[in-house]
Each structure stands twice: as C-alpha cells, then as structure tokens.
Amino acid sequence: MSGNMNPRTVLKYFLAREQAEGRGARVRRSIGTINLRNFTPFLMLDHFHVTPGIGGFPSHPHHGQETITYITHGAMAHEDFTGSAGILYPGDLQFMTAGKGVVHSEIPVKLKDDPTQACIGMQLWVDLPENLKNTPPRYRDLKKKEIPIAKPNDKVEVKVISGSSYGIGSLRDLAYTPVCYYHYTVKPGGEFKQEVPADFNSFIYLMEGGLTINDKEYDQYNAIFFNRDGDYIEGKNPANATKDASFVLIGGEALDQKIVQHGPFVETSVEKMHEVFRNYQHGINGFEKAREWEAKIDIGVEEGDVIGNTATPKKDEL
C-alpha cells in the first residue's frame, strides 16, 4: 500500500435487530430500516435464518435491482419464471439481476444428512443504474470452489468474492453495478486493512465475534458504515478476544440518481414506479409469465427433488 493514504472514518453504526420476514423466516436487517433507509447503491441487507419445511421466501417479484445471496449454513433452492433454477450450498453465492422484471422463489432445502439444519446467509439488494433498470433478467451462480482466498498471515483469511484483497483478485463481471465483496475471518490478535475505491460507499456487517475500529469496539450483529474520506478500512480483533471475528466488508459504486422504492420494485421516479406496477398487474413488459407461473419449490424442497427441469444436486455431487 503506497504512502499518503488515510483510513476511512465511521459514518454511523447500529445493531441489526431480528424481525420476521417472508414465511416463517427471521432476519437481522440493517440497510433498509429506520436506522438507514438506503446507502447507495445498497437498498437492503438481511442476515437471514430460515428453517426447512417451515420458512422461506415464496414467489415474489423484483424490478430495477440486483440481489446478491450468500449462503453460510444449510442450503437454499431458487426458481423463477424464466426457467432458471438451482441450489446454493455453504460458501456459494448467486448474483441475480432482476432488471425489467422477474418473479422468483427462494426456499431452504431439507438436507438428507441433516434435515433440521437451518439455512443461514446474507442477502444484499443493489440498485441498478437508471439506464439498466429495464435490462433482461440474468443469473450468475458463484460456487465456493470459484472463490479465491487471500491469507496475508496466520491470523487473517479473506474470501475474495468480488474485488481484490492482498493481491488476490476475484472473478469479474458478476454484477452490473460495480461491487466489492469480501468475507473476512480474523483470529484474536489479527489486524486487517482493505483498500476501497474512492467512489465506493462501504460498510462492514459482523456475523460473529467483535472488532475494534478506530479505537472503538463493535459487537456481533453490528453494521458499521464508513464515510468516503479515506482510501482503506482497517481494524483488528483484540488479542484478548475469545472467538474469531467473521464479517463481510462490502463496497459499491455510489449512484447519482433518485431512489423510489416500493418493496422489491425500485425506480428513479414516482411516474416510472406507477408504470412498473401497471406492468406487473397486467402481466406486460417483462411480467408476461407472472400470472400463470407457479414455483414448484414453494411447497418445500428436499435434496434430489426436481426443480425447474433438473434434479436438485446433493452436496456430495458438487
């Protein structure tokens, strides 16, 4: 790291409190709450916990945004009205571009070797630039084996999901809106320093353990947002900590556009939002299949079930 560089300061932070969402799911929502409505280009961040056979996120629409889903425990099946379907296991991600419109379902999978294992992970909603709001929907599944890992020392490990960390770069072209995404694990006594682009807003969400940043301590489930006043984010897991710190550090290019959001629909003006609602209600302009399509996975998923046109793979088949 070159000289004349400065760390970013903290803009705000708060505890992500648990709430009900979807069908029987529990989420800790940070972005997208009264504490922080949005943080361009980010619209929502949920740390979710969903039990197979009980909870899930059955068929629902999206428009004008991208979603990034990261599974840390269990498994999640997805299916949509374009015919796309698949399953994510621990360490896997899905980059979904809703664009013009999509209706999909996300349901936890009952694993054969551990049927009560909850599906736990992160889902991030990212705004699309105005000129891409009506792009066709697309998916990019990123499997655990495709994600490079940086190990700058014996106390720090970084899964480089998108971007570059300690000289290790990720796969490219995962999303339309430029995003960097890192999953850090820092052992007690470990320190980290992550560069972020000048025009990116950035934040940390603490999944486990605690961190010290700029001499202030932050506990599990805290979301920490940074000013765009520096070149990197740094912190440490104190030497006297009793557990590893596990957190995501995420950044995204700040978009200079208005955000008009109604649930899973995102536009740049009230007039355009009215048009999206008309499209969805009448099944036109991207939502032609919305009325007749039903997700097979809405009733539940077990390993080996057929979703879409393919059998759900088992974990040991990947």
Cβ-based neighbours of 143, under 8 Å, separated by 6 or more: 91, 92, 318
Binding residues: 60, 62, 104, 106
Closest CA to 10 of 229, 191, 253: 229
Q: Tell me the pairing of strands 301-302 and 265-267.
A: unpaired
Distance in angstroms (rounded) separating the CA atoms of residues 28 and 148: 28
Binding residues for Fe cation: 60, 62, 104, 106
Distance in angstroms (rounded) separating the CA atoms of residues 88 and 109: 9
Q: What is the DSSP string of 255-311?
A: P-S--EEETTEEESSHHHHHHHHHHHHHT-TT-TTTTT---GGGG-EETT-EETTEE
Distance in angstroms (rounded) separating the CA atoms of residues 157 and 165: 10
